[in-house]
Amino acid sequence: MMSLLKTIKGKFILLLWILVLSMALAIKFYFIPQTDRFLEKSVEHDMKRNMEAFTKIIVTVVKAADGNHQVVRRALGNINADPDIPVTLLRSQAIANQFGEVSKKNTQTLRDERVFREGLPIFQKKQTKFEYAFPLKAEKVCQTCHLSEDKTKVVPIGYVLGVAVASVPFDALRENNLFFFVKDLFVVNMILFTLALLAIYLVFYFLVNRPLENLQTSLSDLTADEDEYHQFEMEDNVHDEIAILELHIKELVKRLPSKE
């Protein structure tokens, strides 16, 4: 009984440890990476919305300039030089042909060239920051100033005139309320999981382990009583055999001839 009880209890504790280990592995290799990915997607979404709003601002400036490209150039230059605006503006080949080459405004990476070529934004995670390269496509108002790459006609609508590269440091995640929400949700779930395992163990202890221990104690007491009974029974049998032997001896003595 003792070995059976130890086996059940040991297997149950082993099961709890397996659950804890499985949860720890799931946290490390699934939940944490998925949480990081979720936060990255939220950053990407915010950066996309900001760049779409930035594009509308540029269009508004161009409309306000009313064909005066110097006003537009000064406005974009001030935006590009402002350290509080983490956006770098890159020129297309059409603008470089029209207004001259500027090395720091040319494409810097293969990613930038791809954005110019495909006209699709690209989100990247680098060592210390997130970067979002967003294409600035020509609209009708842009045709008042910009020409095609061969300077023979106005720039076509949809042509990528430039690329705006925005950057956000990783520390910005700590300022995101969503980060604290996910973190709190993660901690709460871990606490609830731990409490659930504790509750399962207590249920096992009071409904299974403790009754088995009481049953084991009762069986041990019963076994002791049976051993004591058998001991007494053997002693009684011994006394009976001696009494019978005495009777036989007395009977033999009576049957012996008298000396007279």
Is residue 159 in some structural domain? Answer: yes
- Pick 199 or 227 by higher pLDDT: 199
Report residue 140 CA to chain centroid gap: 47
What confidence category does residue 189 fall into, taking pLDDT thresholds of 50, 70 and 90? confident
Average pLDDT, the chain: 78
Is residue 238 in some structural domain? Answer: no
- Pick 63 or 10 by higher pLDDT: 63
Is residue 2 in some structural domain? Answer: no
pLDDT digits (tens, 9 = 90+) for 75-122: 888 887 888 888 889 989 898 888 888 777 887 789 999 999 999 999
CA distances from 171 to 99, 176, 178 (A): 38, 9, 14
- CATH code: domain of residue 86: 3.30.450
Predicted confidence at residue 75, as pLDDT, reads 86
Count structural domains, the chain: 1
Rounded CA-CA distance 145/135 in Å is 18
- Pick 166 or 77 by higher pLDDT: 166
Which residue(s) pair with 137 in the sheet? 160
108-112, 134-138, 219-223, 256-260: least confidently modelled range: 256-260
Is residue 210 in some structural domain? Answer: no
- Mean per-residue pLDDT, 175-198: 71
- Show the tokens assigned to 259: 């000396």
Is residue 233 in some structural domain? Answer: no
CA distances from 44 to 19, 41, 134, 151 (A): 35, 5, 11, 36
Predicted confidence at residue 49, as pLDDT, reads 93
Q: What pTM did the predictor assign?
A: 0.62
Predicted confidence at residue 123, as pLDDT, reads 95
pLDDT value at 21 more than 60: yes
Predicted confidence at residue 29, as pLDDT, reads 79
Is residue 100 in some structural domain? Answer: yes
Q: Which of 158, 118, 167 is nearest to 137 (CA)?
A: 158
Parent domain of 115: 48-175
Is residue 99 in some structural domain? Answer: yes
**Amino acid occupying residue 54:** F
Rounded CA-CA distance 79/86 in Å is 9
What would the 3-class secondary structure string for the chain be?
CHHHHHHHHHHHHHHHHHHHHHHHHHHHHHHHHHHHHHHHHHHHHHHHHHHHHHHHHHHHHHHHHCCCHHHHHHHHHHHHHCCCCCEEEEECHHHHHHHCCCHHHCCCCHHHHHHHHHCCCEEEECCCEEEEEEEEECCHHHHHCCECCCCCCECCCCCEEEEEEEEEEHHHHHHCHHHHHHHHHHHHHHHHHHHHHHHHHHHHHHHHHHHHHHHHHHHHHHHHHHHHHHHHHHHHHHHHHHHHHHHHHHHHHHHCCCCC
Q: Count Cβ atoms within 10 A of the Cβ of residue 62 and give its class: 0-12 exposed, 13-18 middle, 19 or more buried.
A: buried
What confidence category does residue 242 fall into, taking pLDDT thresholds of 50, 70 and 90? low
Predicted confidence at residue 185, as pLDDT, reads 67
- Mean per-residue pLDDT, 219-230: 56
Highest mean pLDDT among 33-47, 131-145, 244-258: 131-145
**Amino acid occupying residue 64:** A
Rounded CA-CA distance 146/116 in Å is 16
Predicted confidence at residue 232, as pLDDT, reads 47
